[in-house]
Structures are given as C-alpha cells and as structure tokens.
Structure 1
Amino acid sequence: MSPERSRLIVARGDGALVGWVLLRRDPDRLVGHWGSIHHLQTRPDRRGRGVGAALVGEARRVARDELGLEQLRLAARGGEGLEEFYARLGWREAGRWPGALRLAPGDDRDEVLMVLTPL
C-alpha cells in the first residue's frame, strides 16, 4: 500500500464549515519527506479569530505525527499580508516568483514561496 498522499483538514464552528486546508505529500521518493499546504480558506466572517492559524497548526501536527513528514512548503499571494501571517506561525520566506500572479490587468503580484522546518 502506498503512503497517504493528501489530507483535507476542516474547521467547524456552530455546526458550520468555517475553514479548510489541503495537505499534500509528493509520491516521488526524492521529495517524499516534505509536504505542501494548498488552499487555506476561511469564511470571511470568521477571519481574525484564529481559524486559519488553528488549521495551519493542525496541518503541521498531521504532517509530523501522522504522515512522518519533516518539512512543509507553500506558495502565497504577495501583497495580501500572508507573508506576515505565516511568519507569525514559524514559516520563513524561501524565495519569490516576481509578478507570477495576475489578478487583473495592471495588478501583478509576486508568488511568495515559504517553508516550515522543522515540524
């Protein structure tokens, strides 16, 4: 049986879905020791209440304790304050792809590459 490749982690509050994040691991043996965070989403009316931080914390725990990973990576949209959000949770910037994301004509943003290690 192959190792688990992804995990969807959800947050619920008052009986409703308030956020989610997807944790993935690459099946290639050369990079099988790290995972990546995709699509951290929280309901707009729940932002600023720790839901996102709790989801990232749970993803970190699952990656380390259940999937046996050693590090996590993610790509965040620049210019949204996400670098600061993740930095408060222990992540560090590893690089950028300048102007990689075009939100609208004339609104290009960097894609910020971040890493969390050790878990």
Structure 2
Amino acid sequence: MSSPASRIRGPYLIDKPGPDLVNQLTDLFSRSASVAPDPLDSTDFDGGNLRATAMRIASGAMDPAGSLIVSDAGEDLIGCISLEQEVDPLRRHRGIVRLLLVDPNFRGQGLAGELIEACCERARSLGLSQVYLREKGGFGAETYYARHDFRLVGRFPGGIRMAQGIDLDELWLLREL
C-alpha cells in the first residue's frame, strides 16, 4: 500500500478498463471497509461482498452511459467516483453519482472534492445539466456536499436500512451544472 507521501495522480477517467481494475477496486474497498467507515462514503459494498461491488463498478465503466474517475498513488487506487447517465429519454439530461470513495490514508487532503469536480466536468462533457446523488442522513452529508454546490432536494424518512437494523433518512442532493 502506498503511503500518503506517495505521488498522487489524477483524477482521471478510466476509458478502457484494464484487467487489474476489479482487483484494484476490491483492494480500495477492502482498505476502506477495514477501518471505521467514513459516513460520507456512498458505498454499500453489496452487503459486504467487496468483489461483487468492484465488478459492478468496473462493468459500469465499460457501459456507454457510465463513467469511472479515479486517482492513484503508484499501483494503488486511492479514490474513485462513478457517474451513470440516466437512460430514460425524459431524464437523459442528468446523471447519478453512484459511488464516491477515498482511501482512509488519503482523506482530509481534498481528494474527494477533486473527484467530485472531475465528475461534474465529465457530466458537462456528456451534455448533462444536472448530477444528483443519494446519501445517508445524519452524518453531515448535506453540509459536506453543499460545499460542492449540491443542494438538498428530497428526504426519504427511513429510506436506508443499515445492517444493524437502524433506519436512516435517505437524502437526495442535486447539483446544477
């Protein structure tokens, strides 16, 4: 594992996923799941199956409606954000952020913000005028994303059921591009 002093490259778009992408994503997810989770991470890890989540995210990078943007430090992915363009003809003007994750060793350095901005730039290049995301309530997501020009547009009370049987509000946050 690279250290925070390693040279950081990115964010950059994965336009042709290599054969190691699933393993690199699985490693990133594993490092993130092995510490106290960051409540702002929008990852559910498919109920704990890290490889299944990595495969889903990697396959989205190969989909014409999907985009995966990453940062790395040497051989290791240290952050990623996934954007999916809506396919419904009435919603093709918007995209959903499906994943934002930063390695715990690299948090607090502005990398998540860089990934968000790269994602929004990618959305603009695709002709999108809005991006939105759904996030867990009660952990400061609304305040965090407001710093990146997202605004709360909806709240689904009890919309997220955690593994521990705890229900959290699901927040819908939108950014106009």
Tell me, what secondary structure is at the counterpart of 1:58? helix
- Provide the residue aligned with 1:42 in structure 2: 102
Query: Is 2:111 the partner of 1:51?
Result: yes
What is the CA distance between 1:15 and its match in structure 2? 4.2
Match of 1:75 among 129, 134, 159: 134
- Provide the residue aligned with 2:159 in structure 1: 100
What is the CA distance between 1:14 and its match in structure 2? 4.4
Letter matched to residue 4 of structure 1: P
- Provide the residue aligned with 1:10 in structure 2: 70
Letter matched to residue 110 of structure 1: D
- Provide the residue aligned with 1:110 in structure 2: 169
Gaps of 5+ in 1: none
Match of 2:147 among 88, 97, 117: 88
- Provide the residue aligned with 1:61 in structure 2: 121
For residues 8-52 of structure 1, what are the alpha-carbon distances to aligned partners after superposition, in whole Å with 9 as ceiling and x for unaligned?
110113442111011000122111111110111111121111111
Letter matched to residue 69 of structure 2: I
Whole-angstrom CA distance in 2 between matches of 1:102 and 1:7: 27
Tell me, what secondary structure is at the counterpart of 1:90? coil
Please tell me whether the aligned partners of residues 4 and 67 of structure 1 are also in contact (alpha carbons under 8 angstroms): no
Q: Which moved more, 1:31-40 or 1:9-18?
A: 9-18
Which structure 1 residue ranges, 4+ long, deviate > 6 Å from structure 2?
none
Aligned length: 114
Which structure has the highest strand share of the two? 1
Q: Could you tell me the percent identity over the aligned residues?
A: 35
- Provide the residue aligned with 1:30 in structure 2: 90
TM-score by length of 2: 0.61
Whole-angstrom CA distance in 2 between matches of 1:90 and 1:25: 19
- Provide the residue aligned with 2:80 in structure 1: 20
Please tell me whether the aligned partners of residues 77 and 109 of structure 1 are also in contact (alpha carbons under 8 angstroms): yes
Whole-angstrom CA distance in 1 between matches of 2:104 and 2:138: 18
TM-score by length of 1: 0.89
Gaps of 5+ in 2: 1-62
Whole-angstrom CA distance in 2 between matches of 1:83 and 1:40: 15
